[in-house]
Homo-oligomer: A and B are copies of this chain.
Amino acid sequence: MEFKEAKNKFVQTWGALGSQWGINKTMAQIHALLMVSNEAVSMEDIMEELQISRGNASMNLRALMDWGIVYKEYKAGERREFFTAEKDLDELASKISRERSKREIKPALKILKEVSTIEAKDSAEEKHFVDQTTKLYDFVLKADNMLDKMTEFNENWLGKLVLKIMK
């Protein structure tokens, strides 16, 4: 396999993976492209390489910057803007999980809290509902915390220990 083919395959795969996880395909593809580029890329080049429109490129770059995983870069003497991706994978994972937590998990937890604290009269049905949603609240909270803290441990002794034992 030659370089160009490999690069394309990577971008396509990353895009497909993204859309299976609720991230739009183009956004994931742009991110993939920037990840494997050794230097900042202009919007024009992104459009060209992914065969997408200006508007699409612009909106998804904006979204990636909102997620904090793509940065604008200015080159001396250049009018255009260039873009780079966060390339440190621990940092990337940390930012993604922080954003998803903020945007999706936290609001869901709020609702779970609400519905799990209704007054559960006496029917078995209602009791089960309260019981199950309470468990779910605790579980999601725990999972969210773990994800949140996970990256802090990535390169340190405890993380390594845990990984070792987990093997």
Q: List residues of chain A with CB under 8 Å of any chain B CB.
A: 1-3, 6-7, 9-10, 13-14, 17, 19-22, 35-38, 87, 89, 93, 104, 108, 111-112, 114-115, 118, 120-121, 124-129, 132-133, 135-136, 139, 142-143, 145-146, 149-150, 152-153, 158, 162-163, 165-167
Contact = CB atoms under 8 A, between A and B. Distances in A.
A129 to B, nearest CB: 5
Query: Which 8 A-B residue pairings sit nearest by Cβ, starting from the closest?
Result: A38-B128, A6-B115, A149-B166, A89-B139, A13-B111, A22-B22, A6-B118, A10-B115
Given A3-B121, A115-B9, A142-B163, A129 B36 contact: yes
A7 to B, nearest CB: 6
A35 B127 CA distance: 13
Contacts of A126: 3
- The DSSP consensus for interface residues of chain A is helix
Contact of A9 (B111, B121, B142, B150): B111
Contacts of A35: 132, 136
A130 to B, nearest CB: 9
28 contacts: A2-B118, A3-B121, A3-B129, A6-B129, A7-B129, A9-B111, A9-B114, A10-B129, A10-B133, A13-B115, A19-B22, A21-B21, A35-B132, A35-B136, A36-B129, A38-B124, A38-B128, A89-B139, A93-B139, A93-B143, A145-B166, A146-B150, A146-B163, A149-B167, A152-B166, A158-B162, A158-B165, A162-B162
Contacts of A112: 10, 13
Contacts of A93: 139, 143
